[in-house]
Amino acid sequence: MAILNILHYPDPRLRQKAQPVTVIDSSIKKLVDNMLETMYQAPGIGLAATQVNITKQVVVIDISEDKSSPLILINPEITARQGTVESEEGCLSVPEIFEPVTRAAEITVHYLDYNGQEREAQAQNLLAACIQHELDHLTGKLFIDYLSNLKRNRIRKKMEKRRRLSA
């Protein structure tokens, strides 16, 4: 397995829309395995393929304390949303930035698993927020897009300065 390079905002590649996976073959399984290793090493609780510059509808999530319960979502689609809740979010592509975001409190998601089996799951709380956050990445949307223009511009300037200082 390999650690993949995570793109950082304001990299324009984060705005690309992911394409559906047509066949779950060894290359997709290798991508999932590499994404899990990258997410755990980062460390994070979710990672979308677009964050590692792969425009495929693939997401990995693991909110367990011991990192033993990976959830693989291929071609995911949220089919139901209920209620709203505001919680603080962060992102591996926008490091060290945490802001409150309002999302659906409960969701139903339809997806293919690691072996290509159709699945449907209900999620709430942290898992629901994480799924919504990662699925946004597949459409080129970042959690900071839910913030005011002023906050978003401050974050962009901070991230650009950080990139200049580390170059």
Active site (catalytic) residues = 134
- Token digits for 144? 């900071």
Instruction: Consult the annotation and say whether 91 binds a ligand.
Output: yes
- Concatenated DSSP letters for 137-150? HHTT--GGGGS-HH
Distance of alpha carbon 79 from alpha carbon 52, whole angstroms: 26
Instruction: Consult the annotation and say whether 133 binds a ligand.
Output: yes
- Token digits for 117? 């089996």
Instruction: Consult the annotation and say whether 8 binds a ligand.
Output: no
Which residues fall within 8 angstroms of residue 148, CB to CB, at 6 or more apart?
Answer: none
- Concatenated DSSP letters for 87-110? EEEEETTEEEEEEEEEEEEEEEEE
| Annotated binding-site positions for Fe cation | 91, 133, 137
| Annotated binding-site positions | 91, 133, 137
